[in-house]
Structure 1
Amino acid sequence: MADIRATFFQECEELLEQLRDGLEQIEGEGDCLETVNAVFRAVHSIKGGGAAFGLDALVRFAHQFETVLDAMRAERLTITDDVIGLCYRASDHLSDLVAAERDGTEPAHDTSEDLAKRLVALVEGPVPPGTVPETAGTPTPETFGFVPLAIPIGPTADPQDTTFGIEFTPTAALFTNGNDPVHLFRTLREMGDLSVSVDTVSMPTLDALDPHNSYLAWSLRLVTSESEHAIHDVFEFVEGLCSLRVWLDAEPAPTVPDMPAPAEHVPPSDPGAASPREAAKPAGQSPKATVRVDLDLVDRLINLVGELVINQAVLAQCVAEAGLSTHTDISAGLDEFKNLSREVQEYVMSIRAQPVKPLFQRMGRIVREASDISGKSVRLVTVGETTEVDKTVIERLVDPLTHILRNAVDHGLEVPETREAAGKPPQGTITLSAAHRSGRVLIEIADDGAGINRPKVREIAITKGLIPPDAVLSEAETDKLLFQPGFSTNAVVTDLSGRGVGMDVVKSAIQALGGRVGIQSAPGKGTTFSISLPLTLAVLDGMVVDVAGQTMVVPITAIVETMRPRLEDIHALAGDGSVVSVRDTFVPIVDLGTVFGHRHPSKDFSDRVLLLVETDQNDRWALAVDSIHDQRQVVIKGLEANYGHVPGVAAATILGDGKIALIIDPEETAVRARPTAIQSFVLDEV
């Protein structure tokens, strides 16, 4: 039972995602009957599963939500922005109830009664104060008890109700797919006065009984105010898996149909075979077979793959030290081992890769709640929801994105009156996007608000002692002051912000993921936060270099090109700086040996190799190294848990000879090494 319950909650996550998808489509496309039906089915499935496990609070709220959706699909309720807004909040609360039942806790936001009143009011009018809504047919615990057969069940019928006869004969495929007729009968019971009788005429003797076959049929009589279409909707999930006939009571009851040919039993051990239900679907609509795996097992597999990559590097080192020819069988086998290791690594990484869609949907709730608190009208637009990211990265992005979005609503967007005075629509827009770029994941949060008030930021920074009064800052340096601990532009503490905690937390969280965060802002037009992250936290392609006798690794994705400069290409700047001429442009040179304290500064780079790197903001630097060893896959070993964050160092790795090599963060290293025209207060870790 525990396994079945766990499966139910996993399916609830998928159904809640379908529910949010449907609401977004309805909001964007308007009244689409098929989409409304899909949303209704998602809530109905959650309610039915919750009833099977006796989750009364979940069932009651889902029933009231379902009533509103039923009125929408029956066109008794006009779909407006207010209706969609309430449906979003009902979806959020339904998610809370599912999580609470799964974890055995109380809902994070106990708003069931208030939301239920508002849902009922949409269909039946305002609920009198002090009353608890109890819509017609609202299920009680008894409603979902076992249904006795061959006796009347359900509420007393109204004289105006219609009587229907129903003949229902399931196939074996219906049970193979986890369905149970009793759940269908319970749903019918909610619609009126139901009587059920079972037909066992096709039941064979015990010695001839096939446990994989289906032999029972049911005759039902339903007195209800609902339409025949509503009855067919109840059986929608088992369409193609049963024989069904519904008729008015005035018609003669047909004889029980002959049993359909038993569906071929598909052994559960055949993961590639399509289920009978999938086989019944039209061609081109069958989903790929999937399997749920414990995440711990995937993590262990990823760790083993990392050790496999290290082992491959050890063998390569041994072969190189032995001086074996590249044409020997050992070298050929090692190359094949290397290719297989890379292929295994890519497939294992893809197992953990997940689209950011669930994360973006979760952020939709954050924006709605922040909009309610601030009194501003805000629309969230999402782009690139199918972009795949390592699951660990997704989980650890929740808090940073929450901080940024709340700040965007509270600080970035103006109130409707101010926006209209500036010629903007009263409703503000926040765009949340994700994309793969240069081997990394780029997530952007852009608002169309007023932009950063840089004079105010500078004034606050001086007041808090973060910069000296005479400091000369560029616009980018002023913007990055927002990431300083304790910095806040709110004079009053609100439910959203003003406690001086937030953006510095964002910076730390992103750095812990091996990422970077940047800001771009234009007065009156808005602000964009850019978060650049590695695709995975396990393995990367790196260039192994020598720096003053130390072995270091530079991520390949950051390197644009390599060069050995001529003496005339190097130009000295005032102070300790130097630049290199690259195709009519000048690129600052950063000596890694000097940055990490392995040698004294020098302006002679003629005997060095320069690695031209480019950041997500299109800034360029030339990293000076002594030589390049080779290019290889390296296993990422984080430093934060065992040591702490080292500026300019993203992580470490184990080389084939057993030595430890630091993995360089090129952008952070370059920013850390630049000549500072201001004090050391800053920004050298953003």
Structure 2
Amino acid sequence: MKLEEIQDIFFQECDEGLGQAEAGLLALQAGAQDDETVNTVFRAVHSIKGGSGAFGFERLQAYTHHFETLLDQLREGEHALTPSLIGLLLSAFDMLADHVAAARGDQPTPDDAGMLQRLQETASGAGGTVEVADDAGLAAALDFDLDGLLGDLDTGEDPFANWERDAAEEEITDATRLFVRPREGALAHGGEPLLLIRELVDMGGIIRAVDAAAVPTIDRFDAAGAYLGWHVDVPATVARSDIEDIFEFVADDCLLEFKAATAPVAEPTVAEPVVAEAPAVAIAPEPETAPVTNILPFVAPVEPAKADPAPADVAEKGAAQPGMTATIRVDLEKLDRLINLVGELVITQAMLAQRLHNSGLAQIDELNDLDHLTRELQDSAMSIRAQPIRSVFSRVPRIIREVTATTGKEVRLEVEGEATELDKTVVERIGEPLTHLIRNAIDHGLESPEERLAAGKSAEGRIRLSAEHRSGRIVICVSDDGRGIDRPRVLAKAIERGLVAPDARLSDEEIDNLIFSPGFSTASTVSNISGRGVGMDVVRRNVQALGGRITITSTPGEGTTFTLALPLTLAILDGMIVTVGSETYVIPLTHIIESVQPEPEEIKYIGANQPMISVRGTWLPVQSVANQFGIGGAQVDPAKAVLIVVESEAVGQAVLMVDEIRDQRQVVIKSLETNYRQIEGLAGATILGDGRVALILDVEGVTAFRAPDRMLRRA
């Protein structure tokens, strides 16, 4: 494996560690101040530090060293978890995320001088120093007498000679023997071997002896050298993989040896510690052979095995444990290629079905089986790409911290539906629109604490972020309980900028949508948060590029909600194939409620040109697809056409008029924007079974073309 590939794995693990650390810190902020949460944050930062040193990211390693020191003091009980300390930890985490991004090459190296000073001052305030701990402090933390051990080093005795007697005294009946020694240069990049030893002690380990044979005379002593080694007993109940995890990122800087087990047993074929059960009969003394060792780096972690495994146990060795899920990292390019091949398979299957249908052989059983298997393969492939939106939502707390620090506002975040899954591409591309919406909600939506108190609200504003599946789409809502949209001011700004005529009469919805106009802003001053008039325009364009729509609901004095309706996937969908004149279109099934062929007396008209039809007690406008796209030769009489009732997020139910329904099948979405340009009312194109290209209707865009909500009438 190339160094670049290993480094990519490190950054993936950094992302995972940052996610775990942020979740732990937010839990601490919410009041879950237990030891395990603190340890989770510490382990995540410690892992990032170890990997950064291995790859030579010195700035990242130096920063995490100080961050880790404060976290270590925190879990040792040297600090109280006050709101100010938690705020410092969150700020330190934000700086850590910036350092990781800088190491990846995504942004310049941050200026961390101020944060490092705050970390050092806080750590020093605990009664120690940042860089060096005194011997008494180390002895107390490690639970052994360092001076006493150093005084007994020249006895020449085997430190494990009295293993069984010592184990009995310490009430350890079975133990894994370890020897840990930092290699030369282990301290060169801020490494602290004692932190590794502390991890072993936290697992129940006992320091049996310190090996100081390598300590040189004073004239050759290097203060930055690593000369000591430690003999450690760890209870056999601790999994070997847990021990190896401690040394995962210091494999090149630290020697780890697993010694023989506490009782003589037959040596296994792989190097692993073996714990023997108490024998029922006498066993001959163990021959004097070299101890079984395993020195990092490890090829694969091996769990401690039971003595004398049954044949069935051996046969199942390596199988996943019940309740555990095995995972594997896959290059995204390979996954994209799989999705593309599945898409081509869907097209080929459609072409085959079309040819057989033209030949009168459409009812062949094998064809139905192929259709079923193709759909199953497509569903399975798409599920591989599906990811929870949690990865996007997890960025929001940091955005809120940054904006509130600038605005001085108090904000409480509520999140719902973060386990909702959607296509990875959608997950990656929805992050920027959500960032703009959150910043806009805090800066423009929420009032200052003084204004909120004067209005009878709590000083703390609320931002609610939710996601859910609805009718084959994912719906994301960003809402606040702020002042709402100031429509008179928005309209005045639009008139001032020439976006609308001075005498224009606009509905509330039309005024709200003016904030999506390019260059529009109501901010009185330009700041690093808002005022340049590009944020909301970017939001709408990015959402539309994903085949989605965005709508606004606002009540003055109560708040505003932005609703994003997005496709679950950008690759394949189920669609109804229809004809309009000489053209063929695909309408996504997720929007279709039903299709009707009305009698002439069921059609009513508003004015001369707007037909209406009653659908289950509600009068809906009939919108001609032919008129919208300028298609000649299409049916103009609704009583002789096919009417399809659809539902959209923007306007609710509407009726589309087409000439004929031809088929219903899966289609592969091809981007118009990539191959041509974006067209209003169209979500993409596809290749049909007969080889023709059909355009896919954007139901949200088509139904919003005219404002049917103003023409709804109750029967």
TM-score tier (shorter): 0.7 to 0.9
Following the alignment from structure 1 to structure 2, what is the Cα–Cα distance between the partners of residues 343 and 278? 40
Deviation at 1:674, TM superposition (A): 4.4
Corresponding position of 1:379: 412
1:643 aligns with 2:676: yes
Give the corresponding residue for 1:271: none
Specify the SS of the correspondent of 1:672: coil
With over 3 angstroms needed to count, the CA separation of the structure-2 counterparts of 1:582 and 1:238, relative to structure 1, is same
1-side partners of 2:138 and 2:631: how far apart?
Answer: 94
**What residue in structure 2 maps to residue 322 of structure 1?**
359
Q: Map 1:252-267 onto structure 2 (within 5 A).
A: 257-258=262-263, 265=270
Letter in 2 for 1:100: A
Q: Contact between 1:433 and 1:443, CA under 8 Å: does it hold in 2?
A: yes
SS where residue 640 of structure 1 aligns? helix
CA distance in 2, matches of 1:661, 1:181: 68
State yes or no: 1:75 paired with 2:77: yes
Aligned-pair identity (%): 43
Call closer, same or farther: CA 1:620–1:259 in 2, change over 3 Å: farther
Is the deviation greater in 342-351 or in 356-365?
Answer: 356-365
Deviation of residue 54 (structure 1)? 3.5
Q: Which structure: larger Rg?
A: 2
1:288 matched to 2:293? The reply is no
Report the count of equivalent residues.
602
Deviation, 1:601, is 9.3
Shift of 1:481: 0.8
- State the secondary structure of the residue aligned to 1:381: strand
1:453 to 482, 486, 492: 486
Residue identity opposite 2:130 in structure 1? T
Using the alignment, how far apart are the partners of 2:100 and 2:265 within structure 1? 38
Aligned-residue Cα RMSD (Å) equals 3.9
Q: Distance in 2 between matches of 1:235 and 1:51?
A: 24
1:159–1:106 Cα change, 3 Å: closer
- Taking the aligned partners of 1:443 and 1:240, their CA distance within structure 2 comes to 38
Q: CA deviation at 1:341?
A: 0.9
The one of 131, 140, 146 aligned to 1:136: 131
Per-residue CA distance 1:156-211 (angstroms, 9 max, x = gap): 77898752569799x9x999xxx997599964346899954799xxxxxxxxxxxx
What is the CA-CA distance between 1:375 and the residue it aligns to? 1.9
2:37 maps to which residue?
A: 35
1:545, 1:625 within 8 Å by CA — same for their partners in 2? yes
Q: Secondary structure at the match of 1:632?
A: strand
* C-alpha contact (below 8 Å) 1:355/1:386 kept by paired residues: yes
Give secondary structure in 2 for the equivalent of 1:629. Answer: strand
- C-alpha distance in structure 1 between counterparts of 2:265 and 2:346, whole Å: 55
Aligned partner of 1:48 in structure 2 is 50
1:622-659 Cα offsets, whole Å, 9 max, x none, are 01111111110000001112211111101000001110
Residues 346-495 of structure 1 correspond to what in structure 2 (within 5 A)? 346-495=379-528
State the Cα distance separating 1:617 from its structure 2 match.
4.6
Contact 1:374 1:410 in 2 (8 A): yes
The corresponding residue for 1:122 is: 122
Structure 2 CA distance, aligned partners of 1:288 and 1:621? 45
Q: Secondary structure at the match of 1:300?
A: helix
Instruction: Quote the residue 2:64 is aligned against.
Output: 62
Aligned to 2:277: none
Q: How does 1:668-683 map to 2 (within 5 A)?
A: 668-674=701-707
Q: Determine if contact 2:577/2:662 at 8 Å carries over to the other structure.
A: yes
> 2:649 touches 2:700 (CA, 8 Å); kept in 1?
no
Structure-2-length-normalised TM-score:
0.76
CA distance in 1, matches of 2:402, 2:245: 42
Question: Displacement of 1:51 after TM fit?
Answer: 2.8
Q: Distance in 1 between matches of 2:57 and 2:647?
A: 54
1:163 and 2:173 correspond = no
Mapping 1:617-656, distance limit 5 Å? 617=650, 619-656=652-689
- Does the Cα contact within 8 Å between 2:240 and 2:304 map onto a contact in 1? no
CA distance in 2, matches of 1:571, 1:174: 88
| TM-score, normalised by the number of residues in structure 1 | 0.79
Residues 497-506 or 76-85, more deviating: 76-85
Q: CA deviation at 1:575?
A: 4.5
Structure 2 counterpart of 1:238: 243
Change (3 A) 1:388 1:114: same
What is the CA–CA distance in structure 2 between the aligned matches of 1:515 and 1:94, rounded to whole Å?
34
- The yes-or-no answer on 1:515 pairing with 2:515 is no
1:275 is displaced (CA, Å) by: 6.0
The answer for the alignment partner of 2:639 in structure 1 is 606
**For residues 77 and 551 of structure 1, do their structure 2 counterparts lie closer, same or farther at Cα, with a shift above 3 Å needed?**
same
Gap regions ≥5 residues in structure 1: 128-132, 139-154, 200-217, 223-227, 243-253, 268-273, 678-686
Distance in 2 (CA, whole Å) between partners of 1:259 and 1:4 is 39
**Cα shift readout 1:368-424 (whole Å, capped 9, x = no counterpart):** 111112221223222111111211111111221111111111101111111111122
Q: Contact (CA 8 Å) 1:578, 1:603: kept in 2 or not? A: no
In structure 2, runs of 5+ residues without a counterpart are 150-158, 168-173, 199-206, 215-227, 248-258, 273-299, 307-317, 711-715
Note if contact 2:180-2:231 (Cα within 8 Å) is conserved in structure 1.
no
Q: Find the aligned partners of 1:325 and 1:236 in 2 and give their Cα distance.
A: 57
Contact kept, 8 Å, 2:578 with 2:661, in 1: the verdict is yes
1:684 alignment counterpart: none
Residue in structure 1 matched with residue 345 of structure 2 by the alignment:
308
